[in-house]
Chain A
Amino acid sequence: MALIELAGIERRFQLGDTTVKALAGIDLTIDAGEYVAVMGPSGSGKSTLLNLLGLLDRPDIGHYRLEGRDVTTLSADEQAKVRSTRIGFVFQSFHLVPRLTAAENIALPMMLAGIAPAERARRVTAALKDFGLDQRADHKPDQLSGGQRQRVAIARATIMQPPLILADEPTGNLDRHTGEDVVNLLEALNARGVTLIVVTHDPGMGERARRRLVMEDGRLQSDSAGAPG
């Protein structure tokens, strides 16, 4: 079943007098459980596409169906609800709240969703263990290494058990070795059935994805799903 269906998506930005078409007519279908890498030169619209898929941004033209439901027409609060339960984000710069501990950062989506403290504690303990962070539960982000921070961020993205994980250059701020770790974690999630969409500049990482989208000037230049092999 198609998890994501994009039809005729356009996203324009007004920069002074000129209009930039960050996305210029995207048609795309992604099935549940897929592992997709989005590649392409800088400024080609990869982040814009991901933000749109994550309901952080709205298209100017076109329709976006998530799990069969048209989400472009939802109100801001309804979209927030979808983000809370259906989508997990992993960012290049981690985006951890500096004053909260690793455990509190992981629990943040559950706290925002109003989940009871006991249930939160249970899930956080399990997540800390899964991601090898049990010794780091009470550490603030500035007491963690880059790799550990990104693991906290991935734990946070998965804590609400969303069917879709969006990662924008998750290894961009990491060295090769720790980046490898993070990719393994994300792939393990995908192996358990979570749909994974990763924006990356790293061809090696792109190779590992089962499907590669290459963007250029706001368009899909190639889609390995359509190509043979």
Chain B
Amino acid sequence: MRPADILRFARDAAAGYPLRTTLSVLAMAIGVAAVVLLTALGDGARRYVVGQFSSLGTNLVIVLPGRTGTGGFNPATAITSTPRDLTIADAQALLRAPAVRRVGPLAVGTSEISAGGRLREVMVAGANRDFFAIRNFELAQGEALPDDDWQRAAPVAVIGAKVQEELFGREPALGRLVRVGDRRLRVIGILRPTGQGLGMNTDELVIVPVALAQAMFNSNTLFRILVEARSREAIPAASTQVLELLKQRHRGEEDVTVITQDAVLATFDKLLGALTLAVAGIAAISLAVAGILVMNVMLVAVTQRTGEIGLLKALGAPARTIRLAFLTEAAMLSASGALVGYGLGEAGAFALRQLFPVFPAYPPDWAVIAGLLTALSTGLLFGFLPARRAARLDPVQALMKH
């Protein structure tokens, strides 16, 4: 029998029994749709969290002033001192640590910004050029802070997208002067709009040289020091070196806290990855159930069509042809189920993305491929038994059943 004829024969046979065909296609479709949609959910959650974390910067080590966390109550530090402040000099010193690539000091405060008669309250961040690289800040126009002495208070500012829009509207802002507090600063860069994330909202931020911020707020302390390690592997080394250096500079007192964001991120990544896998596994069970249903449907088909099988044999069909015809039918049922299910799953994921735009609910490729392959192979696997039974029927017995 020609392959095209086998396909057509199987298709017509499936179409001849619409109810059982619809049922098994539906079962398979639900299974595949479940795999696609659930893994889209799981992987979307993973991507969302990972994305939020990495928007903070990669290989990041954060230094906070003060001893917090699990240190417990230490009578020595309680008596001797309030924690020492972090200074720009501290930050500069960290550049000596071999595992450190970049250091970004951060001082923050709020102030008023005005230009062309318009005025608003803003968050002012004092930073340096490397801070932009560490935090992955992207510029829509202009450039980041100048790469000069951290102690120099150049009168320049990089402003957030929303600040730019509110102060200047559609007019060009680059190169214009703005007043921040009692200073007049030139706008040298505008940040690309990012929207709300886990970190601060950069759209409403004004970034100035760290020395200038300290002068404006009349303080010489830092809010944070952001440190970028040379690589992911260098993160632990970087954090111990940072801690050691600051301890030396603070007369042997460990009065800072060092957080590595990668550790948290890795845990989340692993956890959510495992969750996706588990969810995929559960969905795969529904595929197996669908496979068993296809098998039952095909077994019923063999029984229903015993007379026909006997006839085909009488007309000269070898066992192979009959096996192939039934196997093809099973494969068709599961393949169309898989395709319908894939469509449903993608449509569901699309609907999810429309409802929750921040949530990247895309099914991972591995899940789609695994889902489709599982559907096809269960269909074939469970189709094999009925096909073999059909091929083995005794022609005389089968004919008498008509």
Contact = CB atoms under 8 A, between A and B. Distances in A.
Whether chains A and B associate is yes
Interface of A: 51, 54, 56-57, 76-77, 80-85, 89, 91, 93, 95, 97-100, 108-109, 111-114, 156, 160
Interface string B16-57: 100000000000000000000000000000000000000000
A97 B319 contact: no
A114 B315 contact: no
B316 A56 contact: no
Given A99-B16, A100-B12, A111-B1, A89 B320 contact: no
A193 to B, nearest CB: 21
A114 B314 contact: no
Given A56-B396, A91-B399, A97-B308, A81 B314 contact: no
B129 interface: no
A77 B316 contact: no
Contact of B319 (A76, A82, A84): A76
Contact of B307 (A56, A95, A113): A95
B315 A109 contact: yes
Given A109-B315, A114-B5, 9 more contacts: A56-B314, A56-B399, A77-B319, A83-B314, A91-B399, A112-B312, A112-B316, A113-B316, A114-B2
Given A57-B396, A93-B402, A112-B321, A83 B315 contact: yes
Contacts of B308: 97
A7 B346 CA distance: 68
A56 B310 CA distance: 9
B12 A99 contact: yes
B244 to A, nearest CB: 82
Given A95-B307, A95-B311, A114-B2, A109 B399 contact: no
Contacts of A160: 316
Given A51-B396, A56-B396, A99-B16, A108 B315 contact: yes
Closest 4 CB pairs of A and B: A84-B316, A99-B16, A83-B316, A80-B318
Interface residues of B, number: 25
Nearest to A100: B12
Contacts, number: 68
A21 to B, nearest CB: 17
8 contacts: A54-B314, A80-B319, A83-B316, A91-B399, A109-B316, A113-B1, A114-B2, A114-B5
B273 interface: no
Contacts of A156: 315
Interface string B295-320: 00000000000011001111111111
Given A99-B12, A114-B1, A81 B399 contact: no
Contact of B320 (A56, A77, A83, A108): A77
A95 B321 CA distance: 19
B395 interface: yes
B13 interface: yes
A160 B399 CA distance: 20
Contacts of A95: 307, 311, 314, 399, 402
Contacts of A93: 402
Contacts of A81: 316, 318
Contacts of B16: 98-99
Contacts of B319: 76-77, 80
A201 B1 CA distance: 37
A112 B315 contact: yes
Contact of A56 (B5, B9, B313, B321): B313
Contacts of A80: 313, 316-319
Contacts of B13: 99
A100 B5 CA distance: 13
Nearest to A85: B316
A113 B15 CA distance: 23
A127 to B, nearest CB: 15
A156 B319 CA distance: 20
A156 B5 CA distance: 17
A111 B314 contact: no
A201 to B, nearest CB: 18
B111 to A, nearest CB: 82
Nearest to A111: B5
Contacts of B312: 108, 112
